[in-house]
Structure 1
Amino acid sequence: MIIDLISDTVTKPTKGMLEAMTNAKVGDDVFKMDPTTNELQEKAAKMFGMEDALFFPSGTMANQTAIKLHTQPGDKLICDKYAHVYNYEGGGAAFNSGVTCKLIDGNRGMFTAEQLQEAVADRNDIHVPFTSLVCIENTTNKGGGACWSFSELEKLQKVSKNNNLAFHLDGARLFNALVATDESPKQYGQLFDTISICLSKGLGAPIGSVLLGSKEHIAKALRIRKLFGGAMRQVGFLAAAGNYALDNHIERLAEDHQKAKEIGAVLESTSYVTKVEPIETNIVIFYVDDKIGDANFIQKMEAKDILLTPMGEGKIRIVTHLDYTNEMHEILLKELKDF
């Protein structure tokens, strides 16, 4: 038995999801004739109370499309130093949109309205790139699945609006945050100009993300998606998985969160772990004693068929997910205790 905790993207479609995919009604989505894809887009837009939505093959493409539609070459976007759009999207902001990133030194991937206000202070200086966009990531990946305070997001939106800045949410794991904080999608839909949500992480779909926004933004995003090579044909077979995920896999995220907290409790009790980051959702980030070393620890766990991933700076990451069973959980807890 391989216990794969590298990411929540390693899941396979459930039996119910596979049946939904097999039975999907499809058409040519380039001509907006795929009924299942249209259903997914309408479902997501309605869920967030936003005007429109567009299905993408990846969260990176959805985020990069949002960046391009909100900026002009030579502009600057503001994000946290841990942000996915800066660290893990291959330099796409620079390559695709010709924009630079101003990084805020936040806490676990989150910054304050005061920090944002300070970051835009030079916005009218012609010697520096023009700031046009603020990007938020919730939950924060590199920050260990941390959830933003909604009241702080409201303050950030106010600063953005007062400075005529677009406000984009990289919501790759937003449903984890919603379940953990008992907030609603519509709260977020009222706050952000655009939102990307991922269907292939905690929700268990094999592929796909959705970008939400106004009809004007999504019309522009459709052209950008085409430019990026993301136009798809009978993609309803994949959209059906997204529909099934939104209907069946949101509330169960609480199970992943509980398992993550139990893993964290065991790690806290061991002598070889020096620090465990606060655990709010399905991501556990911890550090082991220097005498052991993160690479060595990961290698030894792999020898026991337990797969973990390094996050740099000595961080080791565990991500719980749909395919991480109770049996796997008991094995992992025992191996961590006995290490």
Structure 2
Amino acid sequence: MIDLRSDTVTVPTAAMRAAMAEAEVGDDVYAEDPTIAVLEGRVAGLLGHEAGLFCATGSLANVLGVAQHVRPGQEVLCDSGAHIARAEMGAHGALTGVTMRTWVSPDGRVDPACVEALLSPDAGPYLVSTACVEVENTHNFGGGTVQPLDALGAVSTLCRDAGVGLHLDGARLWNAQVATGIGLDTYGRLFDTVSVCFSKGLGAPVGSVLVGSAEQMASARILRKRLGGGWRQAGLLAAACLYALDHHVASLAEDHAAARAFTAELTASGIDVATPETNIVVVPTGALTSGEVVARASEGGVRLSAVGARLVRAVTHRDVSLDQCADAGRILAGILG
């Protein structure tokens, strides 16, 4: 079975497991886990921020990050296909009282004009005030699209002029860095808080890190504990993330090449699919429903995700080869053709 449902299906390598077994650990609720401290400090430095906080998931990191800017009853603005809007189980409203408004973008790329049109930082006593804008890079449901740096810079200026927080869901920011060559700190310094994930293309079993100011991370640590996210000897998990930083970032380029090989088989069969920028391919299913395509692909040995009524998604990763991805593209082309 060629599993292209997500890059979250990656499993830790033997060397990563060895690094976990050898990790120095302590009680992180008491802020005494040295490996956690190394990871948090290193990621904060890479992204140009003061401090970091280790979290179990990207969803938790996003909830904590947005909550640093938005009080209950205020709003965060984001793309209609953003992960925080579509794939976090309504956690922001359910857990922290945050409301949400969205703009629409066909490929997830942020348009500063859309943000400016929605911004309402001081809406008065009868309307909801904007307290934060969220951007996703790369954009998952947009097809792994990379946000243009000039657009991010324009949104950053808009938010700072308006006194509104800016949060980056950078779960796959590593992919954007590898695809563009733009430094992580160049992206990171545009935002007030940033979350990055290690359990997708980087292949760690668990872990995301939220970064921001020291004051914000101290506040986020309290909320993390309140939500049940206090860790004890979590250095075992942090060691996997540190190993991924040292050994797995550059190989994301191979995942991008595999996504292009997958897409090439579809376009060769006359199926109109955009050339992927990173490791995610969103494919329209035409006359078939996405459920029908997912079922037929599974029978043919390929696992895909349904991300819309007539859209399926393939995500390449380190546990599938370029040749396997090309084979998967041929199988999907046969179904759609």
TM-score interval, normalised by the smaller of the two chains: over 0.9
Q: Which residue of 2 aligns with 1:276?
A: 273
SS state at 2:265 partner: helix
Counting only pairs closer than 5 Å after superposition, residues 73-92 of structure 1 correspond to structure 2 as: 73-92=72-91
Amino acid in structure 2 at the alignment position of 1:63: N
Amino acid in structure 1 at the alignment position of 2:100: C
Distance in structure 2 (CA, Å) of the matches to 1:36 and 1:79: 34
Distance in structure 2 (CA, Å) of the matches to 1:98 and 1:65: 12
Distance in structure 2 (CA, Å) of the matches to 1:315 and 1:236: 39
SS state at 2:205 partner: coil
- Measured against aligned partners, the alpha-carbon deviations of 1:75-108 in whole angstroms (never above 9, x if no partner) come to 0110010111111111111111212111111231
Counting only pairs closer than 5 Å after superposition, residues 180-199 of structure 1 correspond to structure 2 as: 180-199=179-198
Distance in structure 2 (CA, Å) of the matches to 1:104 and 1:302: 34
Aligned pairs, number:
335
SS state at 1:302 partner: helix
Distance in structure 1 (CA, Å) of the matches to 2:82 and 2:289: 25
- Measured against aligned partners, the alpha-carbon deviations of 1:208-235 in whole angstroms (never above 9, x if no partner) come to 1000011111111110111111111011
Q: Which residue of 2 aligns with 1:297?
A: 293
Decide whether the 8 Å contact of 1:80 with 1:104 is kept in 2. yes
**How far 1:336 moved relative to its partner?**
3.9
Counting only pairs closer than 5 Å after superposition, residues 57-76 of structure 1 correspond to structure 2 as: 57-76=56-75
**How far 1:181 moved relative to its partner?**
1.0
**Cα RMSD (Å) of the superposition?**
1.5
Distance in structure 1 (CA, Å) of the matches to 2:109 and 2:218: 30
**How far 1:239 moved relative to its partner?**
0.6
- TM-score relative to the length of structure 1: 0.95
Distance in structure 2 (CA, Å) of the matches to 1:23 and 1:241: 10
SS state at 2:7 partner: coil
Distance in structure 2 (CA, Å) of the matches to 1:112 and 1:325: 35
Distance in structure 1 (CA, Å) of the matches to 2:33 and 2:217: 17
Distance in structure 2 (CA, Å) of the matches to 1:335 and 1:116: 40
Query: Which structure 1 residue ranges, 5 or more long, are not aligned?
Result: none
Amino acid in structure 1 at the alignment position of 2:283: F
Please tell me whether residue 314 in structure 1 is matched to residue 307 in structure 2: no
Please tell me whether residue 286 in structure 1 is matched to residue 283 in structure 2: yes
Please tell me whether residue 329 in structure 1 is matched to residue 309 in structure 2: no
Residues 337 and 129 from structure 1, CA distance in 2 versus in 1: closer, same or farther, beyond 3 angstroms? Answer: closer
Distance in structure 2 (CA, Å) of the matches to 1:220 and 1:87: 26
SS state at 2:20 partner: helix
Decide whether the 8 Å contact of 1:144 with 1:284 is kept in 2. yes
Q: Which moved more, 1:97-106 or 1:143-152?
A: 97-106
**How far 1:124 moved relative to its partner?**
2.9
Distance in structure 2 (CA, Å) of the matches to 1:149 and 1:95: 32
Please tell me whether residue 226 in structure 1 is matched to residue 222 in structure 2: no
SS state at 1:151 partner: helix
**How far 1:121 moved relative to its partner?**
4.8
Please tell me whether residue 252 in structure 1 is matched to residue 248 in structure 2: no
- Measured against aligned partners, the alpha-carbon deviations of 1:122-180 in whole angstroms (never above 9, x if no partner) come to 74343211110000000111100000001110000000011100000000111101111
Distance in structure 2 (CA, Å) of the matches to 1:338 and 1:110: 31
Distance in structure 1 (CA, Å) of the matches to 2:167 and 2:185: 15
Residues 288 and 107 from structure 1, CA distance in 2 versus in 1: closer, same or farther, beyond 3 angstroms? Answer: closer
- Measured against aligned partners, the alpha-carbon deviations of 1:182-241 in whole angstroms (never above 9, x if no partner) come to 100110221110000000011110011000011111111110111111111011111100
Distance in structure 2 (CA, Å) of the matches to 1:169 and 1:69: 13
Decide whether the 8 Å contact of 2:258 with 2:326 is kept in 1. no
Residues 257 and 289 from structure 1, CA distance in 2 versus in 1: closer, same or farther, beyond 3 angstroms? Answer: same
Decide whether the 8 Å contact of 1:67 with 1:97 is kept in 2. no
Distance in structure 1 (CA, Å) of the matches to 2:330 and 2:274: 21
Distance in structure 2 (CA, Å) of the matches to 1:112 and 1:329: 32
Distance in structure 2 (CA, Å) of the matches to 1:324 and 1:233: 34
Decide whether the 8 Å contact of 1:146 with 1:279 is kept in 2. yes
Decide whether the 8 Å contact of 2:194 with 2:212 is kept in 1. yes
SS state at 1:9 partner: helix
- Measured against aligned partners, the alpha-carbon deviations of 1:17-49 in whole angstroms (never above 9, x if no partner) come to 111011111111111111111111111112112
Distance in structure 1 (CA, Å) of the matches to 2:107 and 2:296: 28
